[in-house]
Structure 1
């Protein structure tokens, strides 16, 4: 049974009151259903509002985040199919973190999930239960919340996001028994929510999290003091991913790193004090050949 708009509004208001001190995110959500033949588009706007309220107002951690510390993130849900409360499409997620002594925010996550499918009844409330699978939509949103929290924490402390990645793993485990939805199981391919989380926690891919820490805290956060030295430091950290590439060429985490960082790396090495980056360009071409057009734009 669908809830009334009035009751739904009251629920959201009450939820916001209790959660006002608990926010970790500044999430913007967009539901794009322009290619779906649906006379009444209101359900898509309701879904968009519900998702954004859930992401921003849920208490995800026991930590206190000031306004300056909140994680800026976005989620675009492109709906490709809608029928009788069943949605299919893709998520495009991105997140960034501030850089010390700068007004610049650095992208830390830019990821597309093509296996999005869930049921949503208009005005149904959203609640996260860490011990129980509630719905695929709640699991999807919660999984990416903890993945982003983990990646963000990893940029401030070496493996600082461990507990968050483990919570994401718990969501994966609870969701694996769900029938008819892809992305949660080991058998769901090389690009999946299972694979992203499993690789994140695996020692096989340890360089990803090590480089995320060093690149941001030891590189970008000190860049303002000496940009030329900063370029050299960042170059050395990027090159550490060669060890991962030698062991697991073109891994999901390696692609995840450069999907977030390619534009930033191009910008850093295309302006400011010059250094010798011929070896870096060779490394970048080997590590992320799909970004070759950006590497070509870097002038040695």
Structure 2
């Protein structure tokens, strides 16, 4: 009995200290010149350490449950420790009984600015604003984790979305761009506002059905999996009728367009007439790709 208790204690301690992300970080500095490149290498390492060594919740996460993601930053301007950058955030999710990984997040943020002093510690506290770099990284870390959790459990990512909302609320007084409501649809404020809105509950449900009932059964029931994905996209279409041209629809198809085309251009034949109509209505910018579905 004591041995079992010891094993459980050791495992609990191990999982309790585990972080949720397995992040790859890369910084591109091609647009800045006459600057010591070492500062960017140190920044890259600081971001890597922050994302991979920070716990964003109290959930127990096994090593194989960490979310694979990438943060690719392009430095557009650098002067006196002030940075202006573009940040590309991507994440993937493993599919049951398959070597395939499905794209979940594909977000490009063009309003990333921050001050960074070389070797400064990046410390996460969602209830206080320590630096805009920390706030942006923590915000997207929580978006990645929420989006992943929503694909395994209906609205499973709510805790992480609440974290992202808290980060947004605290950062709004900082005067950095992206944290307040503006004419721009694609900013952090609008993203978290939509994800937390009851209006878009069906979007999050569709993410769950698309993956759990669709992709995750395809190794054994390919045709049924395709039918379930058609049903999930039908749910997205109903959201679209209520809120056309929404940011979340764009976010979904930024990640999923090529995957959907690949799914429905191979394998067992299913009725795709309604699917193509729905896809064309929700995301007309991808009409050339939808035309490949036959």
- Using structure 2 for the length normalisation, give the TM-score: 0.92
Query: For residues 271 and 173 of structure 1, what CA distance do their matches in structure 2 show?
Result: 45
Query: For residues 281 and 62 of structure 1, what CA distance do their matches in structure 2 show?
Result: 42
Contact 2:154 / 2:208 at 8 angstroms: preserved in 1?
A: yes
RMSD: 1.5
2:191 corresponding residue in structure 1: 196
1:279 partnered with 2:243 = no
Q: Larger deviation: 56-65 or 68-77?
A: 56-65
1:8 corresponding residue in structure 2: none
1:7 corresponding residue in structure 2: none
Q: Gaps (5+ residues) in structure 2?
A: 1-13
1:252 corresponding residue in structure 2: 247
Query: For residues 198 and 101 of structure 2, what CA distance do their matches in structure 1 show?
Result: 29
Contact 1:92 / 1:110 at 8 angstroms: preserved in 2?
A: yes
1:81 corresponding residue in structure 2: 77
Distance 1:49 1:202, change over 3 A: same
Query: For residues 280 and 290 of structure 1, what CA distance do their matches in structure 2 show?
Result: 16
1:13 corresponding residue in structure 2: none
Contact 1:78 / 1:91 at 8 angstroms: preserved in 2?
A: yes
Residue correspondence of structure 1 range 21-100 to structure 2 within 5 A:
21-100=17-96
SS at match of 1:274: coil
Structure 1 residue 185, shift from structure 2 partner: 0.8
Q: Gaps (5+ residues) in structure 1?
A: 1-17
SS at match of 2:78: strand
Query: For residues 150 and 198 of structure 1, what CA distance do their matches in structure 2 show?
Result: 14
Residue correspondence of structure 1 range 176-255 to structure 2 within 5 A:
176-179=172-175, 181-187=176-182, 189-255=184-250
SS at match of 1:123: coil
Query: For residues 153 and 19 of structure 1, what CA distance do their matches in structure 2 show?
Result: 17
Structure 1: which 4+ aligned runs deviate by more than 3 Å? 18-21
2:101 corresponding residue in structure 1: 105
Structure 1 residue 67, shift from structure 2 partner: 2.3
1:161 corresponding residue in structure 2: 157
Contact 1:222 / 1:230 at 8 angstroms: preserved in 2?
A: yes
Structure 1 residue 19, shift from structure 2 partner: 10
Structure 1 residue 56, shift from structure 2 partner: 0.4
Query: For residues 121 and 98 of structure 1, what CA distance do their matches in structure 2 show?
Result: 37
1:289 partnered with 2:281 = no
Query: For residues 75 and 16 of structure 2, what CA distance do their matches in structure 1 show?
Result: 30
Query: For residues 78 and 155 of structure 2, what CA distance do their matches in structure 1 show?
Result: 40
Distance 1:97 1:209, change over 3 A: same
* Matched pairs, number: 281
1:5 corresponding residue in structure 2: none
Picking from 255, 258, 261, the partner of 1:263 is: 258
Query: For residues 147 and 280 of structure 2, what CA distance do their matches in structure 1 show?
Result: 24
1:10 corresponding residue in structure 2: none
Query: For residues 278 and 243 of structure 1, what CA distance do their matches in structure 2 show?
Result: 16
2:11 corresponding residue in structure 1: none
Contact 1:208 / 1:257 at 8 angstroms: preserved in 2?
A: no
1:174 corresponding residue in structure 2: 170
